Structure 1
Amino acid sequence: MQAFRYYKRLFKMNDLHISVDPNGHATLSQSVQISEHCNNRARLLTSLVNIVAAPGGFEHFCAYPEAMRRDILNLLRSVAEEQLPLIAALEEHATKAGYERGAQAAREVLIQEQQAANSALHYDAENHAAQMILTH
C-alpha cells in the first residue's frame, strides 16, 4: 500500500480524470505540465529498463512468472511507444517556435533597416538644403 501511495504521488494520479462514453469506451486525461509528464514517463521507462538491464536483472527478471514478464515487457513497450507522438509534438512545437522567433527577428531587422534608410534620407535632405543655402 505504501508503494501505491508513492506512485500515486509520483504520477499525481489524483489529477486523473476518467470519462466513459455511451459505448463504454473510457478516456483518461490528466492535466499536468508537459515537462513534468515527460520527466515522470522517462523515470518510469528508466525504471522498467533497469529491471531487465541492471546487473543480474535479466536473471531475476527471468525468474518471474511468464504472465508477469509479459506484462512488464508490454508496459515497457507501451510506455516507449507512448513517447513517440509526444516527441513528434515537441519537435513540431520547437520548429514552430523557432520559425516564429526567426520571423520576428526578420521583422525587427526590416524595421531597423527602414528606420536607418529614413534617417539617411532625412540627413541627406538636410545636408542638401544646407549646401544650397551656402552656395547662394
Structure 2
Amino acid sequence: MTNLHISVDPHGHATVSQLVQISEHCANRARLLMSLVNIVAAPGGFEHFCAYPESMRRDMLDLMRSVAEEQLPLIAALEEHATKSGYERGGQAAREVLVHEEQAANSALHYDAENQAAQLMIHH
C-alpha cells in the first residue's frame, strides 16, 4: 500500500487511510474479491477449500464477505466522484462557451463600429 496513514484517537480507535485514486482502489478491491472467489470456484477448488481447517475457512469467507460489502459504498463514492467531475467539466465547458460567445460578440460590435465609421467617411 502506498501513502498509508494510521491515526489513533484518545479512545484507542485506529483509522487507517490510504491516498489513492478511488477508481484504482475500487479496481484493486474488485480484483482481490475476484481472486478470492476464483480460489473456491476453480475446478476442485471447493474440495480443496473444504480441506482447510474450519477457522481458516471462516477467515477466508469473512474476508470475502467484507470485501464484497465494501464494494457498495466504494461504488457509490466512485459514482458520486464521477458525477461531480462531470458537472465540473460541464460547468467549465459552459464558461468557455460563454467567454467565446462574448469575444465573438465584442468582435462583431468592433467590426460594425469600424464599418459604420468607414461608410461615414466614404459618404462625405
Tell me which of 16, 34, 40 is aligned to 1:29. 16
Pairs aligned (count): 123
Q: Which has the higher contact order (CA 8 A, sep 6+)?
A: 2
The 2-side partners of 1:122 and 1:18 are apart by 62
- Specify the SS of the correspondent of 1:28: strand
- Specify the SS of the correspondent of 1:17: strand
TM-score by length of structure 2 reads 0.81
CA deviation after TM superposition for structure 1 residue 83, in Å: 2.1
The 1-side partners of 2:29 and 2:119 are apart by 73
Which consecutive aligned stretches of 4+ in structure 1 deviate over 4 angstroms post-superposition?
none
Distance 1:18 1:118, change over 3 A: closer
After superposition, the CA RMSD in angstroms is 2.4
The 1-side partners of 2:4 and 2:118 are apart by 74
1:113 aligns with 2:101: yes
Distance 1:89 1:128, change over 3 A: same
Superposition pairs of residues 1-136 of structure 1, within 5 angstroms? 11=1, 15=4, 17=6, 19=8, 21-22=10-11, 26-34=13-21, 37-136=25-124
- Specify the SS of the correspondent of 2:16: strand
Unaligned stretches of 5+ residues in structure 2: none
TM-score by length of structure 1 reads 0.75
